[in-house]
Structure 1
Amino acid sequence: MSTIRFLSVLVLLISLLVVTPAPAQAAPAPVDVYPVPSIYPASPDYTLTVNGTPVPVQDYPGYDIAQFAMGAGDATIAVTKVNNTAIGAYRISPRKLGVSAAVTGPTLTFTIHDDAYLIIKIDGRPDLVIAADPVETNRPSSSGAGIFNVGAAPTTASFQQTLNDAAAWGSATGTQGIVYVPAGVYPVGNLYLRSDLALYLAPGAVLRFTGDRAENEVHWRKESQQRDITWFLSTRYSSENISIYGRGVIDGNGKAALAPSNLGVNLLTPIYTTNFLVDGVTFRESSSWAIMPTRSSNMTFRNLKIFNRFDMGENDGIDVMESSNVTVQHAIGVGLDDPFSTKTWDTTVDLFSKVPGNPRPLSDVTFDDLMSFTYCYGVKVGQGVFQNQQNVTFRNVTVYDAAVAIGVHHKYGTATAGTIRFENIDVEKLSFSNDSNRTWLALWTGDTHGTGPITGVTVKNTRLYTLGTTPARINGKPAAPITGVTLDHVYAGTATTPATTLTDLNITNISDNGPITIIS
């Protein structure tokens, strides 16, 4: 045997002996199950386990909810139909995660590798929202220096005093006093947040709005709903350095709270404040706009869950209004009305009838990593544009279902809505209709309280699994055209190449607009 042949055989034998190791399997993630108080009934449709640990599933009007936190590693989730009938069809969203599943009789099993907000559809059952939060890393001690406890059954007045004491301690020490709210249900009225305060809601803690006018101030009147509105939690004017965090719940108690005297509620109104943080909290069942950051700056909302009803109107999720340097990061919004939007107003609007000061423009607002499920707009600028709105970005968004996925609706005012970006958007379903629109894109201008321009709108890296059933629209006004629209790598259906014409994207309802640029 020649030397070359001998060496070749030797190399072959060695290669056969070398075994490539299999990819390492991630360890199961630790799971933190949130206590669910008895005021929230169990789902009649589903049970759920995560890595073998039971997680409560809540029955909610229009859909079901399961919530937990997971650490590093994999979470194997098993969803079982309660009556044990075999699963026929299922769907897991966001589709872009590429989650595969196995069906065994009544059980759907799949694995996620990171925390995520998901919506599962099984046969004709209600949608199941699964909110898998990141594990808490900043949970405070329940006692010690700077920790203030609310007690077992606080009144609204005593709860407010605890907040005031903690804020005073924070200001005196140059930090934040922490109000620790353990698991339990706390029926309270208006609560006001002062500077240098942190409100911690432990898993299982619920602040529940009472609807009692005796302990709630009327902050404004919403004429379209013909009811007075109160701010459940709000900041004192000119405040700073305030945090609300934890895995607890702020609950507007929806229809039940309206019953006594038709008093509606905004769940959280940070107004005239700066350096404000919300992290990990669930907001549910608001009877009016849920979260209203107003005339404020340097605000962060992350790991945000907004669960509103489909049978109550004008219950927007988070409406950023007349504010600057605002970030909404990793959030799910579900409800009849717009989950994620920006607005600006003037002093004549009912919302500001009792608010001092002057209107402000809105700028530098970013929404990132969203899941939206609504009967209205998935993500939107408007309707109010009384003051300029500039540099608004929505990115990494899944519109699970909506009437309109992406929108700029300049209905009110004469100011400019400009430099607006929609990036990395997935549109999965469009099952509903709003103002006769059932489409993926609506950029349009109204003439209520004047008209104003829309300029510099970019839609980039967007996947449209559906285009809807009505034409996409770009409709300005002769005195306020829509200009500077760019469609950059927008994909229709499952196409592997981006659209090259407006017809490809069903954009056929066009008027009073400048050139539309398509980049493919």
Structure 2
Amino acid sequence: MAHRTAHRNVRRRFSIVSALAGLATALFVAAPAPAFAAPAAVEPVPLTTAHAASSVYSLSVNGVSVPVNGYSGYDCAEFTMGAGEARIAVTKLNGTNVGATYITPIKAGYVASHAGSTSTFTIAGPQYLIVKLDGNRRLIISAEREESNIPAVSGPGIFPITAYGAVPDDAGADTTAGQQAIDAASAYGSAPGNPRGVVRIPFGAYQVANLELRSNIEVYFVRGAVLRLIPDRSLYSIDAHKSSQNRDLTWWIQTEFGSENITLRGHGTLDGRGQAAVAAGFGMNILAPIATTNFRVEGLTVREAASWAVIPVRSDHLEFLNMKLFNRLDMGENDGIDVIESQNVLVRDGVGIGLDDPYTTKSWPKNVGITKNWPGDPEDVRDVRFDRLISWTYCYGFKVGQGVVNDHSNIRFTNSVVHDASVGIGIHHKSGAGTADDVGFYNIDIERLTTSNDGNRTWLLLKIDDAYGDGAGPITNTLIRSINVRSAGTTPAVMKGFSAASSVQNVLFDKIRMPGASGYATTLADLNITSPSFATGITIQP
């Protein structure tokens, strides 16, 4: 991996200035649209035969019908829009009148009008919404910008998987066709003077086992295209074992070690079929960018993992943009994206849902069940930003940890919304002797805390444990700024170090508004931090 090492030697770190840039810019949550705005052109993302239509809701946007998928625990729908406003009409299929509409983000201030079984409101531009009518399940609406730079259907450098024998919407395996298209595109894109080769996935559902992504390719999903995991353990390499689940795992779609310059984009889906995989005796990480550099995901939906869904590991210069993480709420340890021992990572614009943490960073010991096949040596987690996201979970909305075996530094969670969680934001340094340093939570809106995790139902947790018996590492220089706590939960906020040597050090609270308060918090009591221990250098600014 000499090329990757050389690349790292010259890479530029995110500066704190650049990490904070954009805090003064407009949020992804748009204000209600003015009445005179022109309607946007709308293009729905269609459903394949793999995913059933909702029995609860229908959706139209500017008069265009948008398919709604009835998923486990919630529904979801996706469309793209051009410039202008979008008039969204959500209808209850049972025909009963709408009494109340609940819309996340609350801070956007949307007001819906009701006419019979339909609720209508307007958005000014692309964004992510969680809508609930009366006591019905939630509907996740992904409104994204219209596509640009769409690859050609055929021609030099275009490698459709159907040209290699893949057949949409049938029961056959398309793994060989998919891998052959990837290999051909990489060979083309790696030739001197050529642009990246494009692997084209036409509309439809394709059944595949393990795929390995190689250098210098773009995998383009035509609107509505789906790759579906085949629930047959015999077809897969077993790459890891997760002892807490007592489950063997495969890296379903992974990068070749030492690869570079890979993009996956389009309004398509990676469907891990987690429940079916578990029934077949295994689990998976859906997307595993491991030992890669210059890797990008844009526009994809990652769905139903049976373990951590997306795991960037020991990689650098990664972007995950407009990525939807739709995991089940009845399957545990199904984190959305865990940034693991990687550097210069941006996760921006998206929604993450699952029983377990949607957005986290981690590091783990070498040569244990989940790490035994990771190449190279453990690395620090550095220069990571999560920005303009919505999180819904039974665990932490946004989190560092639990593993902090290697150091974490310059980690930012910004301009985001916790729709519902057990813990709104937190650093749980449960295991490892690394330092969690320079972690910031800025401009976070915590809407609801309706579940409990490990006895905690609170807006904030900063805690150090010593699960490995190595003395644990400290949490240092944490900045918590401009947090709107609409719900503080039912248990006190936690600020608990492990010892004088492994303590929570230098925490700055700035402009924290607690529920029902007329102004910003000025004391620990205001913040509902009742029993801090091994915590020093705490500053609270109104």
Give the drift of 1:174: 4.2
Alignment of 1:22-33 (within 5 A): 25-33=36-44
Amino acid at match of 2:447: E
Q: SS in structure 1 opposite 2:293? A: strand
Q: Which residue of 2 aligns with 1:235?
A: 255
The answer to whether the 8 A contact 2:424-2:459 is kept is yes
2:324 counterpart letter in structure 1:
K
Residues 292-316 of structure 1: per-residue CA shift (max 9 Å, x gap): 0000000111001000000100000
1:146 counterpart residue number: 157
Q: Following TM superposition, by how much is the alpha carbon of 1:211 offset from its aligned partner in structure 2, in angstroms?
A: 2.5
**What is the aligned partner in structure 1 of residue 134 from structure 2?**
123
> 1:191 corresponds to which residue?
211
Q: 1:311 is matched with which residue?
A: 330
My pick for the range that moved more, 320-329 or 156-165, is 156-165
- 2:372 corresponds in structure 1 to 353
TM-score between the two structures when normalised by the length of structure 1: 0.94
Q: Within 5 Å, which residues of 2 pair with 1:210-229?
A: 210-229=230-249
* Distance in 2, Cα, partners of 1:358 & 1:281: 30
Whether contact under 8 Å (2:101, 2:112) holds in the other structure is no
How far apart are 1:498 and its partner, in Å? 1.0
Could you tell me how far 1:494 is from its partner in structure 2? Answer: 5.1
User: What does 1:153-164 correspond to in 2, within 5 Å?
Assistant: 153=167, 155-164=174-183
Alpha carbons 1:32, 1:70 under 8 Å: kept: yes
Could you report, residue by residue, the CA deviation over 1:362-388 in whole angstroms, capped at 9, with x for unpaired residues? 100000001000000000000000000
**How far apart are residue 284 of structure 1 and its match?**
0.4
Equivalence map 1:38-437=2 (5 Å): 38-151=49-162, 152-153=166-167, 155-172=174-191, 173-260=193-280, 262-437=281-456
Name the SS of the counterpart of 2:430 in structure 1: strand
Deviation at 1:131, TM superposition (A): 0.9
Q: How many residues align?
A: 497
Contact kept, 8 Å, 2:49 with 2:205, in 1: the verdict is: no
Q: For residues 211 and 219 of structure 1, what CA distance do their matches in structure 2 show?
A: 16
1:457 matched to 2:478? The reply is: yes
How much has 1:53 moved relative to structure 2?
A: 0.7
Aligned partner (choices 490, 497, 505) of residue 519 of structure 2: 497
How far off its partner does 1:105 sit? 1.7
- Give the drift of 1:349: 2.6
Contact 2:413–2:441 (Cα < 8 Å) also in 1: yes
Deviations 1:392-411 (A, max 9, x none): 00001100000000010000
Q: Which amino acid aligns with 2:140?
A: V
The structure with the greater share of residues assigned to strand is 1
> Which of structures 1 and 2 has the bigger CA Rg?
1
Which ranges of structure 2 fall in alignment gaps of 5 or more residues? 1-33, 168-172
Q: Residues of 1 paired with 2:364 and 2:155: CA distance?
A: 44
For 2:276 and 2:35, the matched residues in 1 are separated by 51
For residues 460 and 436 of structure 1, what CA distance do their matches in structure 2 show? Answer: 25
**Equivalent position amino acid for 1:476 in 2:** G
> How much does 1:493 deviate?
2.2
Distance in 2 of aligned mates of 1:213 and 1:83: 40
- Give me the whole-angstrom Cα distance separating, in 1, the residues matched to 2:210 and 2:62: 40
Q: Which amino acid aligns with 2:504?
A: I
The one of 453, 474, 487 aligned to 2:509: 487
C-alpha change, 1:307 and 1:184, in structure 2 (3 Å) is same
- CA distance in 1 between counterparts of 2:149 and 2:285 reads 27
Secondary structure at 2:532 match in 1: strand
Matched residue, 1:17: none
AA in 2 matched with 1:474: M
Looking at structure 2, the residues matched to 410 and 24 of structure 1 have their Cα atoms a distance apart, in angstroms, of 49
CA shift for structure 1 position 117: 0.5
CA displacement, residues 13-51 of structure 1 (integer Å, 9 cap, x when unaligned): xxxxxxxxxx88111111111110122111111111000
SS of 1:351's equivalent?
Answer: coil
Paired residues of 2:358 and 2:392 also in contact (CA < 8 A)? yes
Give me the whole-angstrom Cα distance separating, in 1, the residues matched to 2:73 and 2:131.
13
Q: Distance in 2 between matches of 1:406 and 1:49?
A: 34
Secondary structure in 1 matching 2:275: helix
CA contact (8 A) 2:252 2:285 kept: yes
Task: Tell me the C-alpha RMSD between the 2 structures.
Answer: 1.2
Indicate the SS of the match to 1:434: coil
The answer to whether the Cα contact below 8 Å between 2:367 and 2:373 also exists between their aligned partners in 1 is no
Offset, 1:507: 1.2
Q: Give me the whole-angstrom Cα distance separating, in 2, the residues matched to 1:90 and 1:469.
A: 25
Counterpart of 1:83, as a letter, is N
CA offset at residue 513 of structure 1?
0.5
Question: Hey, what does 1:15 align to over in structure 2?
Answer: none
3-state SS in 2 of match to 1:170: helix
1:472 aligned partner: 493
Q: What residue is the counterpart of 1:508 in the other structure?
A: 530
Task: Give the partner amino acid of 2:209.
Answer: G
User: How far has the Cα of 1:175 moved from its partner?
Assistant: 2.4
Question: d(CA) in 1 for partners of 2:174 and 2:68?
Answer: 30
Runs of at least 4 residues off by over 3 Å: none
Matched letter for residue 202 of structure 1: V
**CA distance in 2: counterparts of 1:476 and 1:76, whole angstroms:** 50
Report if the CA contact (8 A) 2:222-2:266 is conserved: yes
TM-score computed with the length of structure 2 as normaliser: 0.90
After superposition, what is the alpha-carbon deviation per residue over 1:56-105, rounded to whole angstroms, capped at 9, x for unaligned? 11111111111111111000000011111111222111011111211112
Shift of the alpha carbon at 1:158? 2.1
Deviation at residue 137 of structure 1 after TM alignment: 1.2
Q: Which moved more, 1:248-257 or 1:417-426?
A: 248-257
The sequence identity of aligned pairs, in percent, is 49
CA distance in 2, matches of 1:281, 1:464: 31
Q: Tell me, what secondary structure is at the counterpart of 1:514?
A: strand
SS state at 2:366 partner: coil
Distance 1:515 1:24 in 2: 50
Kindly indicate whether the alpha-carbon contact (under 8 Å) linking 1:156 and 1:215 is maintained by their aligned counterparts in 2.
no
Q: Which moved more, 1:196-205 or 1:352-361?
A: 352-361
Q: For the residues of structure 2 that align with 1:89 and 1:375, how far apart are their CA atoms? A: 24
8 Å contact from structure 2 (residues 422, 457) kept in 1: yes
**Cα distance, 1:509 vs structure 2:** 2.9
Structure 1 residue matching 2:330: 3-state secondary structure: coil
> Do 2:395 and 2:421's aligned partners in 1 also have CA atoms closer than 8 Å?
yes
Partner Cα separation in structure 1 for residue 342 and residue 223 of structure 2: 30
Instruction: Write the distance in 2 (CA, Å) between the matches of 1:75 and 1:342.
Output: 35
